[in-house]
Chain A
Amino acid sequence: MPLRPLQQQEAMLKILKYSFYDLIRSRWSYVYFLFYLALGFVLLFLNNDVSKAVITLMNVIIVLIPLIGTIFGVMYYYNSREFTELLLAQPIKRTSIFMGQYFGVAGSLTLSLVLGLGIPFLLYGLMRSNAIFDFSLLLVTGAFLTFIFVGLSFVIAISNENKIKGFGYAVLLWLFLAVVYDGLFLMSLIMFEEYPLDTFSLVATSLNPIDLSRILILLKLDISALLGYTGAIFKKFFGTDMGFLVSMAILLAWTVLPILGLRYKARRKDF
């Protein structure tokens, strides 16, 4: 007999909790946490300056977080396949199972990130520094990127029975968004340099969550003011409260889309 809606929610929370603790107990979560902890301490130790450390950290965050999110997501999905099949035999809704797993993985990764970077910065005196806003923005975009890329990798994994294929697609997706997209972007900017490109570059930046996060952080670090005419255009759009809300909305859309895709796939998939 299927469970009632309230019980469905409880079941999802239970699975979320289980996935979460499963990851927390597994060594990977600790490794990830310790990596950020070490990174934070080393950066602050070497730089002696919170705002400089934030810049360096940005480079790490926009490259590594998506990569780790992608790989973790795919790995977790394939590894817990047997357990998932066991759960599927229970009278629980499929979406509850997959949502639970998704939030468990993304949540524990985000927790590692926030704690791993937060502790060294707090100890170092972030509260007394005026970089606190930049730093929280860094963590917020980091969290968004984790949720986005874990979501995308879950969608890829659920669509591909073949592990190798799934891994391949997931890494390709990361490679595309982190590197290739910018290459194509650059090529098109150079090809169409005769035309006004302001709107195009704004739109193209917004469409890629990695680029969008990068620009958001760069603007908060006030580098935009140093970059002349084009920097000013970006500042005018993303630098205002309106632009900030728009970009947060885009990041949120990027988070919600894979979740919807996951629900759709989970409902239809034949196990």
Chain B
Amino acid sequence: MFMLFLGHLVWARTWTVCPTCEHSSIKQTIQEANAHDTLLIQKGTYREFEILVDKPLILKGMEYPIIDGEKKGEIFRITSDNVTLDGLFIINVGVSYTKDNAAIRVVQSKNFSIQNMVLEQLFFGIYLEKSSHGKVYHNRIIGDAVDEYNSGNGIQLWYSTDVEVRKNHVQGTRDGIYLEFSDRITITDNVSMDNLRYGLHFMFSNHDIYTNNTFENNGAGVAVMFSKFITMKNNTFRKNWGTAAYGMLLKEINDAEISDNTFEENTIGINVEGSNRIKYIDNDFIGNGWAIRVVGACYTNSFKGNNFLYNSFDISYNSKLNDNVFEGNFWSSYTGYDLDKDGVGDVPYRPVKLFSYVVNRTPETIVLLRSLFMDIIDFSERVSPVFTPDNLKDAQPLMKIRP
């Protein structure tokens, strides 16, 4: 063991790179270095781009050295396994309409680690391509995207598996975090805000878990599409406002679990379309325009133990068919009573208002929100449902808010 350790010390060399040193270029030092060496990059500005890391190295920045790509192209390209990038400040990635230039691109590598980086004025931020078993940890990605067509994503995973994305802060990019064909990814403790399109975007990615993330004020919230077995826990979706903005958009999602999340002040909390066998458990829906909007073909979903607080519409449906179960939720607009004092209301709650049907059909009628006329109509519909699905009700509404 000791010999091994010694051997490592002997073989792994540490190179110091600084603008005034013998080694003033990162690119050249990488070429000279051997596998498993460490490059300590001192404070300063390095005007370099297309830096190819093709052997297992540790690149560590001291006091955030600036690597300025001068908008000429891609900056780091990692093609080897076991590469660590740590503590660099990367700016000015070249914008291209034919290539997806990234500040850091990882290509077909394993066991990489990208941590404590700061990326600014970027096109794509961190782009993982057919890579696996890596870590993207504690990075700060600040974009200044204005238009969708000439901006890139903050963290993009493409055909990558078993990656951990943790404690990152992404803002002002096109999609904050984008996953395509990527399985078994864990996304934890990230903040994704003020992005042009989605804070988090899933496409064809299965068995992923995302927990404790915050998605705020993104152009269209979070989109989870065409994926299976996704677990979403303890996330916060806030202030995703706009004509087509959702806290979360579910499209063609099967067998997912959505629990303990908070949806606050979104135009639409969750928009569900063609999604089956999803469990919605213990979520809080607070002050949304629509808490949940079910668009069509959603079967065997269950909604249990959720709090629906002060949403303009709790649930909106566009068909008369219902195959979903609502049970044991708390509804702030529930007006029933509990004679036997078991904490469960004695009369069922019907969460779908007739008004929401009318609004689905003619959006302009929203101007009649909270008018006496609509309240009367809703009341009579609630007493004897004609237009809303008869079995769409919560037979065991909670009397007290779930803590």
Q: Name A's B-contacting residues (CB within 8 A).
A: 52, 55, 58-59, 62-63, 178-180, 182-183, 185-186, 189-190, 193, 197-198, 201, 205, 211, 214-215, 218, 223, 225-232, 234
| A58, closest chain B residue (CB) | B370
Task: Decide if B289 touches A228 in the complex (CB within 8 Å).
Answer: yes
Q: Which residue in B267, B310, B376 is a CB contact (below 8 Å) of A227?
A: B267
B20 interfacial contact with A, CB 8 Å: no
Would you give the shortest CB distance from B316 to chain A, in whole angstroms? 12
* Residue of A whose beta carbon sits closest to that of B373: A182
B361 within 8 A of A: yes
The residue that B372 contacts in the complex, of A63, A193, A226, with Cβ under 8 A, is: A63
B358 at the interface (CB under 8 A from A): yes
A183 to B241, CA, bound (A): 29
Q: Does B266 count as interface, using CB distance less than 8 angstroms?
A: yes
> Are A186 and B243 touching (Cβ within 8 A)?
no
Q: List, in ascending order, chain A residues with CB within 8 A of B288's CB.
A: 226
Return B219 CB to nearest CB of chain A, in Å.
Answer: 14
What are some 8 contacts across the A-B interface (CB < 8 A)? A182-B371, A186-B368, A190-B358, A198-B364, A211-B371, A225-B241, A226-B312, A228-B242
The reply on B401 being an interface residue by CB < 8 A is: no
| Neighbouring A residues of B366 by C-beta, 8 Å | 227-228, 230-231
A190 and B267 form a contact (CB under 8 A): no
B367 touching A215 by the CB < 8 A rule? yes
B2 CB, min distance to chain A CBs, angstroms = 65
Nearest CB of B to A48, in Å? 12
Across the two chains, which residue of chain A brings its CB closest to B287?
A: A226
Q: Which of A63, A190, A218, A229 contacts B369 (CB 8 A)?
A: A218
Does B362 lie at the interface of the complex (its beta carbon under 8 Å from any beta carbon of A)? yes
Q: List the A side residues contacting B361 at CB < 8 Å.
A: 190, 193
Q: Which of B265, B266, B312, B367 interacts with A205 by CB under 8 Å?
A: B367
Kindly report which residue of chain B lies nearest to residue A178, judged by CB atoms.
B372
Say yes or no: B365 contacts A186, CB within 8 Å.
yes
User: B374 near A: Cβ within 8 Å?
Assistant: yes
A190 touches B365 (CB 8 A): yes
Nearest Cβ distance between residue B237 and chain A, in whole angstroms? 13
Instruction: Check if B7 is an interface residue, CB within 8 A of chain A.
Output: no
Size band of the B side of the interface? 20 to 34
Q: Which of B266, B364, B367 is within 8 Å of A226, CB to CB?
A: B266
Residues of chain A contacted by B244 (CB below 8 angstroms): 228
The residue on B at minimum CB distance from A190 is B362
Query: B363 within 8 Å of A by Cβ?
Result: yes
Does A226 contact B370, Cβ atoms closer than 8 Å? no
A226 and B267 form a contact (CB under 8 A):
yes
The smallest C-beta distance from B309 to any residue of chain A, in angstroms, reads 9
Would you give the shortest CB distance from A53 to chain B, in whole angstroms? 12
Mark interface residues in B238-257 (1 if CB within 8 Å of A CB, else 0).
Answer: 00011110000000000000
Select one of B312, B365, B371 contacting A189, CB under 8 A: B365
Measured CB to CB, the closest approach of chain B to A247, in angstroms, equals 13
Nearest neighbor of B369 in chain A, beta-carbon distance: A218
Residue of A nearest to B239 (CB): A225
Which of B268, B367, B373 is A201 in contact with, Cβ under 8 Å? B367
Count A/B pairs, Cβ under 8 Å: 86
B contact residues vs A (CB 8 Å cutoff):
241-244, 265-268, 287-289, 310, 312, 358, 361-376
Min CB distance, A85 to chain B, in Å? 38
Which 5 A/B pairs are nearest by Cβ-Cβ distance? A226-B289, A182-B373, A229-B243, A197-B364, A193-B362
Contact of A223 among B312, B364, B368 (CB under 8 A): B312
The residues of A that contact B368 with a CB separation of less than 8 Å are 182, 185-186
Residues of B near A215 (CB, < 8 A) are 367
Which residues of B have CB within 8 Å of A182? Answer: 368, 371-374
Other-chain contact of B267, A63, A214, A228 (Cβ < 8 Å): A228
Q: Say whether B376 contacts A223, CB under 8 Å.
A: no
Chain B neighbourhood of A189, CB < 8 A: 362, 364-365
Inter-chain contacts of B267 with A (CB < 8 A): 225-228
Known: A179-B372, A182-B368. A228 touches B310 (CB 8 A): no
CB <8 Å contact, B373 and A183: yes
In the assembled complex, the Cα of A225 lies from the Cα of B243 at a distance in Å of 9
CA distance A114 to B283 in the complex (A): 39
Look across to chain B and name the residue whose beta carbon is closest to the beta carbon of A198. B364
B364 contacts A52, CB within 8 Å?
A: no
> Which residues from chain B contact A218 at a C-beta distance below 8 Å?
369-370
> Smallest CB-CB separation from A205: which chain B residue?
B367
A197 to B287, CA, bound (A): 27
Give the CA-CA distance A62 to B373 in the complex, in Å.
12
List 18 extra interface pairs beyond A182-B371, A197-B362, A227-B366, CB under 8 A: A62-B371, A63-B372, A179-B373, A179-B376, A182-B368, A185-B367, A186-B368, A186-B373, A190-B362, A214-B371, A218-B370, A225-B267, A226-B267, A227-B267, A227-B289, A228-B244, A230-B363, A230-B367
Bound-complex Cα distance A154 to B345 (A): 47
Contacts A226-B266, A226-B312, A228-B267: A186 and B358 contacting too (C-beta < 8 A)?
yes
> How close is A182's CB to chain B, nearest CB, in angstroms?
4
Chain A nearest CB: distance from B365 CB in Å? 5
Are A226 and B374 in contact, CB atoms less than 8 angstroms apart? no
A211 CB contacts on chain B under 8 angstroms:
367, 371
Report how far A178 CA is from B365 CA in the complex, Å: 16
Asked if A226 contacts B362 (CB within 8 A), the reply is no
| Bound CA span A227–B363, Å | 9
CB of B311, distance to nearest CB on chain A (Å): 9
B70 to chain A, nearest CB (A): 40
Cβ A226 vs Cβ B363 within 8 A: no
Q: Which residues of A contact B243 (CB under 8 A)?
A: 228-229, 232
Residues in chain A near residue B365, CB distance under 8 A: 186, 189-190
CB <8 Å contact, A226 and B373 = no
Kindly identify which residue among A52, A226, A234 contacts B265, using a CB–CB cutoff of 8 Å.
A226
| A residues near B358, Cβ cutoff 8 Å | 186, 190
Q: In the bound complex, how far is the Cα of B374 from the Cα of A185, in angstroms?
A: 11
> Which residues of chain B come closer than 8 Å to A55, judged between CB atoms?
310
User: Smallest CB-CB separation from B355: which chain A residue?
Assistant: A186
